[in-house]
Chain A
Amino acid sequence: MLSIADNYFSQFELPVGYDIDLDRLNGQFRELQTIVHPDRYAAAEDEQRLQAIKLSSYLNEAYETLKSPLRRAGYLLQMQGVDIEQVEQSDLDPELLFEQLRLRESLAELPKDESALERLEELHHATSAKLAQRQREFADFLAEASLGQARKLFHELQFLTKLQAEIEKAEDAIV
């Protein structure tokens, strides 16, 4: 049905790198999914159906990994043999930790009603901008194979993404 490529990028015929053509990813994903989706094997033997489920799950996983900027960053590091599960003390600058702490505190101190929405929106924008900036820097470090730096930035991206999710959650709790 489908031959499994060495990595998710070549599976979707994309160049390996942080900057990614999302349209092409979407297009390739759907094209491949059209071939392997279990709906196409509704009347087939169990074994073939099982294979379709596996391949279709694999494609979904590959697609979701590349689609998410954070997961894509982690995947690229892992492709380079970088262990992203263990966080070394030296990966986290005190300034970064301090800033995250400050942002989290300001988030926690906001009132839990609609009066906080404007501030939340600001925080959201600021975090988005910061994320975008750090993503660009990550892409640069990765391109020049500065893996230590890239790994450091990856952890910062994790912080920022988590913070963004918490801001959204706080917004959801209000609206």
Chain B
Amino acid sequence: MSLLQISEPGGRPVRRTDRKRAAGIDLGTTNSLIATDVNGEVRTLADADSAHLLPSAVHYRADGATTVGAAAKAQAAADPANVIVSVKRALGKSLDELEDSGDYRQYRFDSECEPGSPAFVTAAGVRNPVEVSADILKTLVQRAEARTGEAVEGAVITVPAYFNDAQRQQTRHAAELAGIRVLRLLNEPTAAAVAYGLDTQEQGNIIVFDLGGGTFDVSLLSLRKGVFEVLATGGDTALGGDDFDKAVAGWLADQCGLGGMDSIAARDYPAMLQAANRAREALSEAEQAELSWNGSSFTLSAAEFAELAAPLVRRTMLACRRVLRDARMETGAIDNVLLVGGATRMPLIRRAVADYFGREPLQDIDPDRVVAIGAGIQAEVLAGNKPAGDFLLLDVNPLSLGIETMGELVEKIIHRNTSIPVSKSQEFTTFKDGQTAMALHVVQGERELVGECRSLARFSLRGIPPMVAGAAKVKVTFQVDADGLLSVSAEEASTGRKAEVQVKPSYGLDLDQVEQMLKDSHEHARADMSARALREARLEATRLMEAIGAALEVDGELLETAERAAIDQALHALRQAMAEENAARIEERTEQLNHASEGFAERRMNMTVGAALRGESIDAIDERTE
């Protein structure tokens, strides 16, 4: 359940003491930054080479030495197994998840480690993702201490809004391992909004459009009287500036007559991507860019690039649309749009964002640095160097919670993006006569079939008094607290019997799964609908057949031979249809059976409950007469 836990830990009490050196850290997938107060203004700090961005790469060398940043990244091609990159994606994941993701194919994992806490085998020894992250954090803090000449006493570290509990905990552990006191973990989009000073505004709806090197996040924040609320988040974990480079590289391959990307030799590919990247960046400033490859020279115009990039831009816009829809908001309700991530420097992205939201995005602050700056400002507040505002973040749960019902369908109880804490109850009923126990299976996800959501827990409710199908009322209550922890209880209304389960954080979903599940739900919505239709048709047919079977046993003598034969034939036809995967046919034959049994139903009805219920279908009558 930890995935629900996107709440930002509550602000710690701020003691007014002497000025303390505090810093904001953006621990990114591709690059990391640190920001601190410089002469009264929070700024990111550069290294000795004037580079503000520290590549999130760590090289564990055979001589036992560790290098972090550009130097490590430069060794990635030569020593892939020992240069750990994109470690952020590994935080809070199990070994299976890392192996299945495909992101970490170049590494060897320690066979000794627990499946729940994988570690890389490097030339310098075994390192887990927390340790690798700690090495990056240490390098950043050392940079700050070297530049300011003071010890960093506390830091605000940013995390994606949808980071789960395990991911947040590991980020915190990495900081502790690096000897940093964590003042608070802050959501990245919130940090961006703080950097723009939007937290001091009376109110507003803010879109944070964050297109990094390899990931795309879009968040909708609502701000009112100092209260930040994450209304919705979305995006694509496999979309970033790199994909635009790949599109350009593909174009270049075409121009060279290489006939597409597949025919590029693997060793040529990195160089081709670099050429593509240079061209893409040049196009941020100019109307055209020159590329050369194997002695030939090519010109890529901004218009051609726009065409290559169009499918990618469209994907970002679809994610924006989805987030707005999740929050039930129109573009006109958006007051500010913030750009985060280096890839938002592309003019075509800025234009697309401005067109879609009907307003110019804020872009005064360097999109690579804005998150670190916001974190730095918040660190100043929490360290007591600046007065604290009335800062409270209200959160939402990012994935729907539901319960398995008959036919492996999911009955959603708490929909995604519902404000937490939240408590919701729903009544369920028994399916069979005399049913005394009920198994409840709690799942998380957007899909309509149980098998395609993530199982959270199973529990059973026993001691339901035997009643006719549909008479027992089982009230199931889901409670999600502000930390995102779920508890589920169930109670039978007439007897008050209770069962309860606490969902443990080990069930937390990882980011990729969330994304994948959302993506799947999106891609398979149609398949779901037809699968659901089939299950419902089967369920309905089963109900009717059982009802008629029971009725025949009791009142079979009411029937003429011909009527009985017609019902038997319809029953047979329906049974045959049940064996096939055709919902329409099952429905049609269910209807035929209904029709064949109408006269029978009417007679039973007249006999047992009188004319009051005339017009009801046979199964409904059956339930009431038993």
Binding site for B on A (CB under 8 A): 26-27, 30-31, 33-34, 37-40, 42-43, 52-54, 56-58, 60-61, 63-64, 112, 168-169, 172-173, 175
Contact A60 B526 (CB under 8 A): no
For the complex, give the distance between the alpha carbons of A95 and B6 in Å: 47
Choose from B9, B321, B418 the contact partner of A175 (Cβ within 8 Å): B321
Chain B interface SS verdict (over half): mixed
Contact A57 B479 (CB under 8 A): yes
For the complex, give the distance between the alpha carbons of A31 and B224 in Å: 9
Chain A interface SS verdict (over half): helix
* A and B contact pairs by CB, cutoff 8 A, 6 listed: A30-B224, A34-B225, A56-B421, A60-B419, A61-B423, A61-B424
For the complex, give the distance between the alpha carbons of A58 and B567 in Å: 52
Contact A169 B421 (CB under 8 A): no
Choose from A37, A43, A54, A168 the contact partner of B394 (Cβ within 8 Å): A37
For the complex, give the distance between the alpha carbons of A172 and B325 in Å: 10
Contact B392 A34 (CB under 8 A): yes
Q: Which residue of B lies closest to A41 (CB)?
A: B10
Q: Tell whether B422 is near chain A: CB-to-CB under 8 Å.
A: yes
Query: Please, which residues of chain A bring their CB within 8 A of the CB of B10?
Result: 38-40, 42
Q: How far is the CB of B221 from chain A (nearest CB, A)?
A: 13
Contact A172 B482 (CB under 8 A): no
Q: Which residue of A lies closest to B225 (CB)?
A: A30
Query: Please, which residues of chain A bring their CB within 8 A of the CB of B422?
Result: 57, 60-61
Q: How far is the CB of B320 from chain A (nearest CB, A)?
A: 12
Give the interface residue-count category, chain B.
20 to 34
With contacts A39-B392, A173-B529 taken as known, whether A30 is within 8 angstroms of B419 at the C-beta atoms is: no
Contact B227 A34 (CB under 8 A): yes
Query: Please, which residues of chain A bring their CB within 8 A of the CB of B226?
Result: 34
Contact A34 B390 (CB under 8 A): yes
Q: Which residue of B lies closest to A34 (CB)?
A: B392
Query: Please, which residues of chain B bring their CB within 8 A of the CB of A112?
Result: 526
For the complex, give the distance between the alpha carbons of A63 and B420 in Å: 12
Within 8 A of A (CB), among B283-323: 318, 321-322
4 A-B pairs with the lowest CB-CB distances in the bound complex, closest first: A42-B10, A39-B10, A38-B482, A173-B525
For the complex, give the distance between the alpha carbons of A92 and B413 in Å: 27
Query: Please, which residues of chain B bring their CB within 8 A of the CB of A30?
Result: 224-225, 227, 229, 394
For the complex, give the distance between the alpha carbons of A33 and B392 in Å: 9
Within 8 A of A (CB), among B255-274: none
With contacts A60-B421, A61-B422 taken as known, whether A33 is within 8 angstroms of B394 at the C-beta atoms is: yes
Choose from A39, A168, A172 the contact partner of B11 (Cβ within 8 Å): A39
Q: Tell whether B167 is near chain A: CB-to-CB under 8 Å.
A: no
Q: How far is the CB of B536 from chain A (nearest CB, A)?
A: 15
For the complex, give the distance between the alpha carbons of A39 and B446 in Å: 28
Q: Tell whether B158 is near chain A: CB-to-CB under 8 Å.
A: no
For the complex, give the distance between the alpha carbons of A42 and B9 in Å: 8
Q: Which residue of A lies closest to B524 (CB)?
A: A173
Query: Please, which residues of chain B bring their CB within 8 A of the CB of A63?
Result: 419
Q: Tell whether B572 is near chain A: CB-to-CB under 8 Å.
A: no
Q: Tell whether B79 is near chain A: CB-to-CB under 8 Å.
A: no
Contact B224 A26 (CB under 8 A): yes
Query: Please, which residues of chain B bring their CB within 8 A of the CB of A60?
Result: 418-422
Q: Tell whether B7 is near chain A: CB-to-CB under 8 Å.
A: yes
